[in-house]
Structure 1
Amino acid sequence: MKKTLFFFAVLICCRLLSQEFWYSYSFQDKHVGYTKVVYQWQEQEKSYIKKQEKYRRLDGEEKEEISCVLSLDYSVLSGYISSQTEKGQEIFVITASDKILIQNKNRLISVPGEKIYLEISDFLKGIAARSKLEYGRIYKGLVLSGDRMGACDARARYLGKEVLWANLEKQECHTFDVTTSELKNFWAKAQMDANGNLIGYSLGSFQVLRVPKEYALEVRQNFPEIPAPFIFDIEQIDRMYIRHSDFPFPIPSGPNQRNKEGQTILRSPDEQETQAFSPQTKESIQPGIHLPSDSEFLLEYAKNIQGNSRENRDIAQKIALWVQENLEKKKTPQGNKLAFFLGFSRNLPAIAHVSLSRACKIPSRLVSGVMYTPGKWIYATWAEVFLGKWMPLYSGGIARGAYFIAIVENKAWGIEDKLVPFSFTLHKLVKKGETLLLDNASSYLSIQEDKVTDKLLGITFLRPADWVLLPKNTQSDMLLLRSIKGNGPAILIKVFELPRSLEEILDTLSKKMGTQENLELLWQQSRPFPKGKAIEVALKSQQQLVYRAFLGEQGKKGIAALLIVPAKELLLIEKGFQDCIFSLNFY
């Protein structure tokens, strides 16, 4: 018994003497890196050993390993830094006794000052370690520069204590404004917990936040996109037939997918039969790992989103719309607070969907796998809610359509070994009740007299007289017509998802249509478009080419038609272009 008590006492003591933290870096809402930090107290030397691993992927890949000895106020006594970039490896050595010396293989410099901190976080830890903090006081110090071969002045203004919901828990923290000469006196907002450990800081669109280890390491998961045919209106796809010969892992069969004779058949959730409320389903109401659905903070969010709704379907729809409006399209102040609490995972929308749904007592789960978007398959994690059958929550609503391949259901946190790159072929689908064979163009592209219908792109239009439709490529989101008049005028018709307004798209029209010329806008006019709106514009290039462009939108889908013609031939074919754009419609 005494040995057991001694073992636990040693274990607790070791935890107190050694602390490990993981931080995630995000820039413009993209996960770009992480840092692992370990502080270990050395009782005999009355100092700290700090070991740090940093990984960043912004303008190239960068790795950094640090081993330092820190004093009681967390300033550097000595340190070793190894930095690896695409340019090669650099080694830095720092010593601070009578004077501060920094050395790499090329030079040795002396930094004026009594002490230097490795980073802003250590500078703030040194301030927080003081017995008394004074509100409004500005603290000053030196911090190692970003290139590791110099020092920059640092200042921190203490703003007092506040209660913060961060990293899945409620924390009392010290708040600072902090800046350095390298930041050109732009002030970052930083929070330290009651023990003086960094919670996070933000400056503009750059943010550092303490997160669970699993979230930090997500940046290492770099799954490639899988090219696929361009198909739009995917919510109207009833079934997909995917052919594969040797998957690196078994794809599970379930209500929305089944394996048969060397292929996987995906079904729209609408085709499922209603299922019983099983014990496994009941578990999907409980809080889970990194899913704090019983938190008072999250419960308040769920209550406000639910409002007066009582039906689970209505509540789930409200949750999906709220997540899209506050976490996906942009991060609103309310969305940012929830993200700060949940931890800024790369899968934040799915985590928010499940956490909020469970807080409203709606069974929900996380699913990882592969998801189809026009032109590609992407690796993703999404949420599913149980509404008599499992339905995905995605893109602001209850998703319909057969375009999810579930590989791991009831996802547990950690890097998924099962999610490894693989390839397959989509060879058949059922859309709006009609079977389309992707290796047979006549199955999805029809021309009846002058009426053209593309069932993959979901558009229909009248082909102008004296124009020829060139062969269709399923890997493209465009159709191309050529005139038999003049020197080869062309009309490009392109379909795309619409994340922005038509006016914003006009600013990048040349890029959208696949040309890099600088175009001069001559005029712009509104045009009628079924169940939507449209704009027609005239543009001119420096090469005396005239561009007449039509942009239409309907819901989340956009269409563009671009006429490219030498200026002297415009009158020959302008009427044909007008007939074409006025007949354009979504199928």
Structure 2
Amino acid sequence: MVGGRGNVEIPHPLRAISSQITITFDGLPYGASSFTDNRQRVISESINEDGVSQVVVDISVDTTDRTGRAFLPVTDEHLKEYLGTSRHITPDYEPIKEAAMKVVGDENDVYRAVEKLLVFTHNYIDYALTLEIFSAPDIFERKQGRCTEYAILFASLTRAVGIPSRLVFGFRYSGTTWMGHMWNEVYVDEWIAVDAAQGQMAPDALLVKVAHAPSLTGEENLQATVFTGHRLNIDSVTLREIEAPEGVPAKSGIYGNQYTSREHACQISVPETWTMTKGELVGQSMLVMQNKAGGASAVLMTFDAPMGVSAKEVLDGSIQQAATRMSATALSSGTATLGNLTGVSARLRIDAEGAEVLQDMIVAVSDDIVYVVTLTALAAAWDLFAPDFQEIRDSFVSWR
């Protein structure tokens, strides 16, 4: 499900609020394509003598509040096929129906109900690559999947409470590459796009729609054509600016005992008895913090979050990487705070040439940014540096 290498690198694609995209394709079945939705409109179409088509679309984030426009259940006859059961979408599966009813509760506003079900779906599934397409009951039990599974389960949940929904096929930009993607549209007095995999009620402007369908059944050829027959070019894009709190330096850098990252929207400080320097590990920049007398250190790493990543996934991957570089054993793990964020942490015991070293690894994810802080000291001196470590953790702030 890859759409090809992009023509421009974009550090934070989820921040795109508007874009113009040129889509070049051939072979799409007549009538199968649909390049418009509540956020995407066609501004030009052409076809050359070789039968190659080109469509230029404008995309803008749609943050319209549709509260009060429609109420449950939606019973319009022309929407009946978007409420039904298919091989993959099963709103009549009892556990799914019960879950949907519990999430929605006594809410009868369609837009608010969609918000609740979107949050539930986004949090319920752990993002994981799969080699096959699962049905909603399997997804509900497995609690894992990629964008396809998010879309199938979300369609089942919404239909279970009487909200018409359909599947959408297209592409999402990873920052360097167009990836085949699936999401949903729900009917709230009109069809609107929502992306459960990203938890977006108002999807960003680097999500490009190519087609939609009520279900996956009978759409295998369409999917194959959509995900293999298109070339996309970003003509222009505007990213949302992240406003920093008052008093934050205008540029990223180290200012005394405080470090500011404007790009990754965060600050962290160290005690007066510590130093800060910028470093690099395997091409990844980092902030290195060290006690002036030695014996303890801390590191801050920040990077763009892959689609659907969770703090736990990053933590597990980081522990595995640490185990390949040194003799490291995880002693404990659980929920943790990193300044104003909640994430996960693990304590590692490391054998460093006969010396026992302890390391706390804390990971937090805020929207499209991952923050990783490690705190390291000799086991024998850990209690001595514990107050400094806590001060460093408490000083962290993200305004993402």
Structures share fold, TM-score greater than 0.5: yes
Counterpart among 346, 366, 383 of residue 184 in structure 2 = 383
Tell me what 1:549 maps to.
Answer: 360
CA displacement at 1:525 relative to structure 2 = 10
Amino acid at match of 1:510: I
CA separation of 1:383 and 1:410: change in aligned 2, threshold 3 A: same
CA displacement at 1:463 relative to structure 2 = 6.1
> What TM-score results when the alignment is normalised by the length of structure 2?
0.58
> What TM-score results when the alignment is normalised by the length of structure 1?
0.43
Contact 1:323 1:349 (8 Å CA) reproduced: yes
Contact 1:241 1:263 (8 Å CA) reproduced: no
Amino acid at match of 2:259: V
CA displacement at 1:471 relative to structure 2 = 8.4
Aligned: 1:248 with 2:24 = yes
Equivalent positions of 1:422-501 (< 5 A) are 422=231, 428-432=238-242, 445=252, 450-462=257-269, 466-470=275-279, 479-481=286-288, 491-494=299-302, 499=310, 501=312
Tell me what 2:109 maps to.
Answer: 311
CA displacement at 1:430 relative to structure 2 = 0.8
Contact 1:445 1:453 (8 Å CA) reproduced: yes
CA displacement at 1:429 relative to structure 2 = 0.8
List per-residue Cα deviations over 1:331-385 (Å, max 9, x = no partner): xxx9536889xxx998343234335534644343322112256886531111121
Q: Which moved further from structure 2: 321-330 or 566-575?
A: 566-575
Equivalent positions of 1:313-328 (< 5 A) are 313-320=111-118, 323=121
Equivalent positions of 1:329-344 (< 5 A) are 336=137
Amino acid at match of 2:17: R
Q: Which moved further from structure 2: 518-527 or 381-390?
A: 518-527
Contact 1:284 1:363 (8 Å CA) reproduced: no
Aligned: 1:518 with 2:327 = yes
CA separation of 1:482 and 1:289: change in aligned 2, threshold 3 A: same
1:408 and 1:574 map into 2 onto residues whose CA distance is 54
List per-residue Cα deviations over 1:547-577 (Å, max 9, x = no partner): 6334154788863212578999999999876
Aligned: 1:239 with 2:17 = yes
List per-residue Cα deviations over 1:379-431 (Å, max 9, x = no partner): 11111213356140404855335155223242472334243364656865114
1:260 and 1:321 map into 2 onto residues whose CA distance is 33
1:541 and 1:445 map into 2 onto residues whose CA distance is 35
Equivalent positions of 1:130-209 (< 5 A) are none
Contact 2:82 2:159 (8 Å CA) reproduced: no
2:335 and 2:120 map into 1 onto residues whose CA distance is 32
Contact 1:312 1:387 (8 Å CA) reproduced: yes
Q: Which moved further from structure 2: 300-309 or 458-467?
A: 300-309
CA separation of 1:394 and 1:287: change in aligned 2, threshold 3 A: same
CA displacement at 1:542 relative to structure 2 = 3.9
Q: Could you say which structure has the greater relative contact order, defined with CA pairs below 8 angstroms and 6 or more residues apart?
A: 2
Amino acid at match of 2:299: I
What SS does the corresponding residue of 2:185 show, helix, strand or coil?
strand
List per-residue Cα deviations over 1:246-267 (Å, max 9, x = no partner): 6434994654246889997643
2:164 and 2:335 map into 1 onto residues whose CA distance is 47
Amino acid at match of 1:479: M
Equivalent positions of 1:70-149 (< 5 A) are none
Counterpart among 202, 206, 216 of residue 400 in structure 1 = 202
What SS does the corresponding residue of 2:137 show, helix, strand or coil?
helix
Contact 1:522 1:537 (8 Å CA) reproduced: yes
CA separation of 1:316 and 1:271: change in aligned 2, threshold 3 A: closer
CA separation of 1:247 and 1:446: change in aligned 2, threshold 3 A: farther
Unaligned runs of 5+ in 1: 1-220, 435-441
Cα-Cα RMSD: 5.8
Contact 1:480 1:493 (8 Å CA) reproduced: yes
1:411 and 1:582 map into 2 onto residues whose CA distance is 48
List per-residue Cα deviations over 1:456-504 (Å, max 9, x = no partner): 434321267532235899x96x6343769789x7724245576365xx8
List per-residue Cα deviations over 1:193-227 (Å, max 9, x = no partner): xxxxxxxxxxxxxxxxxxxxxxxxxxxx5666879
2:109 and 2:370 map into 1 onto residues whose CA distance is 33
Contact 2:35 2:57 (8 Å CA) reproduced: no
What SS does the corresponding residue of 2:107 show, helix, strand or coil?
coil
CA displacement at 1:310 relative to structure 2 = 1.9
What SS does the corresponding residue of 1:382 show, helix, strand or coil?
strand
CA separation of 1:483 and 1:553: change in aligned 2, threshold 3 A: closer
2:181 and 2:153 map into 1 onto residues whose CA distance is 15
Equivalent positions of 1:572-587 (< 5 A) are 579-587=391-399
Tell me what 1:269 maps to.
Answer: 62
Contact 2:259 2:268 (8 Å CA) reproduced: yes
CA separation of 1:377 and 1:469: change in aligned 2, threshold 3 A: farther
1:224 and 1:518 map into 2 onto residues whose CA distance is 40
2:126 and 2:371 map into 1 onto residues whose CA distance is 23
Tell me what 1:125 maps to.
Answer: none
CA separation of 1:268 and 1:584: change in aligned 2, threshold 3 A: same
CA separation of 1:547 and 1:266: change in aligned 2, threshold 3 A: farther
CA separation of 1:263 and 1:335: change in aligned 2, threshold 3 A: closer
Contact 1:239 1:431 (8 Å CA) reproduced: no
1:514 and 1:388 map into 2 onto residues whose CA distance is 53
1:349 and 1:498 map into 2 onto residues whose CA distance is 13
2:184 and 2:2 map into 1 onto residues whose CA distance is 21
Tell me what 1:285 maps to.
Answer: 79
Contact 2:323 2:329 (8 Å CA) reproduced: no
1:559 and 1:424 map into 2 onto residues whose CA distance is 31
1:450 and 1:259 map into 2 onto residues whose CA distance is 51
How many aligned residue pairs are there?
340
CA separation of 1:537 and 1:225: change in aligned 2, threshold 3 A: farther
